[in-house]
Amino acid sequence: MVISNLNIKLIEDRLGFITKSLVKLKKLSGYDEDVFLAEDNPAIAESYLRRSLEAIFDIARHIIAKRAGKGIVEYKEIAAELGKIGVLTPELSERLRLMAGYRNRMVHLYHEVTDRELFTIIKNNLSDIENFVLQTKEFLKEYNKQKASLK
């Protein structure tokens, strides 16, 4: 179902931001734990990770509003809805639901997020963000094909 056209530029801009952030996060994830924990590396990682998650949910909210006509604001519901409407695989939708919980923790329980925890996440979970970018790009390709066939 199509409610109204997607803002492709908005989505592509956010995907570009996420991709640039991933480059920085991957560099940080290559450090030994001791090096990562030194200086401002945890704060830098937290900023790139949090802003990437915000961009993911901005994209997701936009797609859901335009494709499903829903104004969902709860992050975990947004993740589930992307799976329901076929933008993401069920597996990635579930991973995104977990990312939503972590995003909420970073924003609201920031005082409980440890530097070692951030290190573990960027070391082991950046592929979830990469998969979001890939699956969203695939969704956009299909969207553009459908749109072109209607002309």
Q: Does residue 116 surpass a pLDDT of 90? A: yes
pLDDT given for residue 3 in this prediction: 60
Residue 57 lies in a domain: yes
Flag whether 74 is in a domain. Answer: yes
Contacts of 8 (CB under 8 A, 6+ apart): 140, 144
The answer to the question of residue 33 being in a domain is yes
Residue pLDDT, tens place only, 65-115: 998 777 887 899 999 999 999 999 999 999 999 999 999 999 999 999 999
Residue 2 belongs to some domain of the structure: no
Residues 26-65: pLDDT tens digits?
A: 999 999 999 999 989 999 999 999 999 999 999 999 999 9
Task: Please check whether residue 58 lies inside any domain of the structure.
Answer: yes
The pLDDT of residue 69: 77
Q: What total of structural domains would you count in the chain?
A: 1
Domain boundaries, position 83: 8-149
Name the token pair of 130. 């990469």
Taking the C-alpha atoms of residue 111 and residue 80, their distance in angstroms, rounded to an integer, is 27
With respect to residue 1, please indicate whether it lies within any of the assigned structural domains: no
Within-domain flag for 18? yes
Among 2, 43, 48, 1, which Cα is nearest to 21's? Answer: 48
Do the domain assignments include residue 3? no
CATH of the domain at 114: 1.20.120.580
Instruction: Please report the pLDDT score of residue 72 as a whole number.
Output: 81
What is the pTM (predicted TM-score) of this model? 0.93
The angle formed by the CA atoms of residues 146, 135 and 12, to the nearest 5 degrees, is 75
Q: What is the identity of the amino acid at 104?
A: N
